[in-house]
């Protein structure tokens, strides 16, 4: 009977609008959830086959919730170095266990990148899901098998230390006074006299360097004006003398020779002693450290970008050495290519992980799980693990999170529409009920 059909149609409308209200409520409740993707309700008709052309069989309506996972949320800057967002397509790979190899661990995908280290140093988001990445080895390489989830490891930033790095290069920039008076006894000078204290240098400066264990050592550069124009006797010696092997370095002397300049005050490399450029320091064996092979850069030939000889006071302009002392972890940094870098307080840095970006043929077909994470389904298609910024994968935005895609204005508008539609379907039921009541009363 058509009145009964109208009742059933009204009931289907109430059910559909109730589901629509549930979707709206879920969206509004997640308006502040990082990485949340708003859902929408799609309605479709339920049609009953009509037997006669003159008749009508009442149908109804059904509602289906649609996920809009491919919609980009607004990126919001934060002050946390471990907050991350993806600008573009793709998802972070996470696991509900810190050790993905265990039987209970489940890999999932999320755009909720509000990661913080837990007590063990593992990066986890607010849902307790652990960020996964490719480990970077000492050569700076990631695993060659980049399609298998099992090669991923939980990103951990605890217990990292910056190893000591020995100095291999010294860059020296200084001016030696062109009008320096030549020592009257300079003719008696022999190599090593300045290190031994027999001759007082016209100019002297010390540079700190690092040994193979990160210890700080001192090298002193001494200069004595020669009677030969534009030439200076040069010595490099270690202080204190006890730091070096005395048999190899008497009085701590590491290297000696001459430094020559052109008539315009620039470096004359060709006429400078070549041995000065690569001195080797043999340390005292009691220190238990490796010998240091140094490259000393005095500047370019014909340039005043290192040592120079101008009519000004002899003075050091700058000195620079590579290497570093042993350091502790000072922080982490994430690049737009997904590389997680550990920063140490000794100034060194080390790449430790590279974050894969998972992409899907149909991201809207993913199955939503608690914690704003997703699982792959037949509708989503198989995932692909990509390096950030390659193929269809987006880039990583550090110190940022992706905001919810919920539009409150739209949600409240839809809420009003849903409420009115629900009331209208309820009116269908009450009206059909009145009509049925009239039919029942016809017998009286």
Res 29 pLDDT > 70: yes
Instruction: Say how many C-beta atoms besides its own lie within 10 A of residue 32's C-beta.
Output: 9
Chain segment 120-146, per-residue pLDDT in tens? 889 999 999 999 999 998 888 888 888
State how far the Cα of 284 lies from the Cα of 153, in Å rounded to an integer.
Answer: 43
Q: Picking from 257-261, 308-312, 348-352, 416-420, which range would have the lowest pLDDT averaged per residue?
A: 348-352
pLDDT digits (tens, 9 = 90+) for 323-363: 877 777 778 899 999 999 988 877 778 899 999 999 999 99
| pLDDT score recorded for residue 54 | 61
Kindly list the structural domains of the chain, giving each domain's residue range(s) and its CATH number in brackets, ordered by start. Answer: 2-68+405-441 (no CATH), 75-158+335-402 (no CATH), 169-321 (2.60.98.20)
- Whole-number Å distance between alpha carbons of 17 and 415: 10
pLDDT at 62: 87
> Range with the lowest mean pLDDT among 2-6, 95-99, 146-150, 425-429?
2-6
The first and second tokens of residue 10, run together, are 């009204």
Encoding tokens for residue 6? 């109208």
What pLDDT is recorded for position 76?
93
| Mean of per-residue pLDDT scores for the chain | 90
Q: How far is CA 8 from CA 19, 84, 90, 99, 434, in A?
A: 17, 50, 43, 53, 15
Parallel, antiparallel or unpaired: strands 161-162 and 169-175: unpaired
Residue 161's pLDDT band (boundaries 50, 70, 90)?
Answer: low
Q: Give CB contacts under 8 A, 24+ apart, made by 417-425.
A: 418/17, 418/20, 418/21, 418/24, 419/21, 421/13, 421/17, 421/20, 422/13, 422/14, 422/17, 422/18, 422/21, 424/13, 425/10, 425/11, 425/13, 425/14, 425/17
Query: If you compute the radius of gyration of the chain from its CA atoms, what whole number of angstroms results?
Result: 38
d(CA 340, CA 121): 14
Mean pLDDT of 6-14: 87
Whether the pLDDT of residue 381 is over 90: the answer is: yes
Instruction: Please state the rounded mean pLDDT for residues 13-17.
Output: 91
Asked if 296 and 330 count as a contact pair (C-beta separation under 8 A), the reply is no
pTM more than 0.85: no
Instruction: Give the span between the Cα atoms of 235 and 200, in whole angstroms.
Output: 12
Query: Mean pLDDT across the stretch 66-84?
Result: 92
CA distances from 132 to 30, 272, 309, 407 (A): 25, 56, 58, 31
Mean per-residue pLDDT, 208-233: 94
Residue 117 pLDDT > 80 = yes
The pLDDT value recorded for residue 162 is 66
- Structure confidence at residue 9 as a pLDDT band (50, 70, 90): confident
- What's the pLDDT band for 57 if we cut at 50, 70, 90? low
User: Comparing C-alpha atoms, which of 383, 372, 325 is closest to residue 152?
Assistant: 383
Q: Is the pLDDT of residue 250 over 80?
A: yes
Q: Looking at residues 297-301, what average pLDDT do you find?
A: 92
53: confidence class by pLDDT, cuts 50, 70, 90: low
Looking at residue 1, what is its pLDDT? 54
Other Cβ atoms less than 10 A from the Cβ of 47: the count is 10
Asked if omega into 240 is within 30° of 0 (cis), the reply is yes
In the predicted model, is pLDDT for residue 276 greater than 70? no
Tokens of 216: 């700080």
Cα–Cα dist 156/191, whole Å? 54
Sign of the Cα pseudo-torsion (112, 116, 118, 123, in order)? positive
- What the block records as the tokens of 134 is 């490719």
pLDDT confidence of residue 100: 61
pLDDT at 138: 80
Instruction: Return the number of other C-beta atoms located less than 10 Å from residue 424's C-beta.
Output: 13
Confidence class for position 406, pLDDT limits 50, 70, 90: very high
């Amino acid at each position: 009977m058509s009145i009964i059909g109208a009742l059933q149609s009204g009931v289907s409308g109430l059910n559909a609008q109730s589901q629509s209200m549930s979707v709206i409520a879920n969206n509004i409740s997640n308006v502040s959830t990082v990485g949340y993707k708003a859902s929408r309700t799609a309605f479709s008709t339920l049609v009953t086959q009509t037997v006669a052309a003159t008749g009508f069989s009442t149908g109804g309506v059904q509602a289906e919730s649609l996920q809009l996972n491919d919609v980009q949320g607004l990126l919001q800057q934060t002050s946390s170095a471990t907050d991350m967002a993806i600008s573009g397509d793709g998802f972070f790979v996470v696991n509900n266990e810190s050790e993905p190899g265990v039987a209970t661990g489940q890999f999932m995908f999320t755009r909720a990148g509000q990661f913080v280290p837990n007590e063990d140093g593992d990066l986890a988001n607010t849902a307790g899901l652990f960020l996964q990445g490719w480990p970077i080895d000492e050569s700076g390489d990631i695993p060659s098998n980049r399609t298998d989830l099992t090669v991923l490891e939980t990103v951990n930033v605890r217990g990292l230390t910056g190893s000591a790095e020995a100095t291999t290069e010294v860059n020296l920039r200084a001016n030696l006074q062109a009008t320096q008076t030549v020592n009257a006894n300079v003719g008696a000078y022999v190599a090593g006299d300045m290190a031994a204290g027999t001759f007082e240098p016209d100019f002297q400066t010390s540079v700190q360097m690092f040994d193979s264990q990160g210890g700080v050592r001192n090298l002193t550069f001494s200069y004595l004006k020669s009677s030969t124009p534009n030439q200076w006797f040069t010595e490099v010696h270690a202080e204190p003398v006890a730091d070096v092997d005395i048999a190899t370095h008497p009085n701590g002397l590491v290297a000696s020779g001459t430094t020559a300049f052109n008539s315009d005050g620039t470096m004359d490399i060709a006429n400078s002693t070549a041995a000065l450029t690569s001195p080797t320091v043999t340390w005292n064996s009691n220190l238990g450290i490796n010998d240091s092979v140094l490259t000393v850069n005095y500047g370019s030939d014909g340039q005043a970008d290192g040592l120079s000889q101008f009519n000004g006071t002899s003075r050091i302009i700058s000195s620079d050495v590579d290497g570093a002392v042993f350091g502790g972890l000072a922080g982490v940094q994430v690049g737009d290519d997904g590389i997680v870098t550990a920063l140490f307080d000794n100034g060194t840095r080390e790449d430790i992980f590279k974050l894969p970006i998972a992409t899907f043929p149909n991201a809207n077909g993913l199955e939503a799980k608690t914690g704003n994470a997703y699982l792959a389904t037949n509708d989503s298609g198989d995932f692909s693990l990509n390096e950030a910024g390659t193929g269809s994968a987006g880039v990583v935005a550090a110190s940022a999170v992706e905001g919810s895609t919920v539009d409150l204005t739209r949600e409240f508008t839809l809420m009003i529409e849903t409420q009115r539609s629900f009331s209208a379907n309820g009116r269908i039921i009450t009206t059909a009920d009145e009509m049925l009541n009239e039919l029942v009363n016809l017998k009286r």
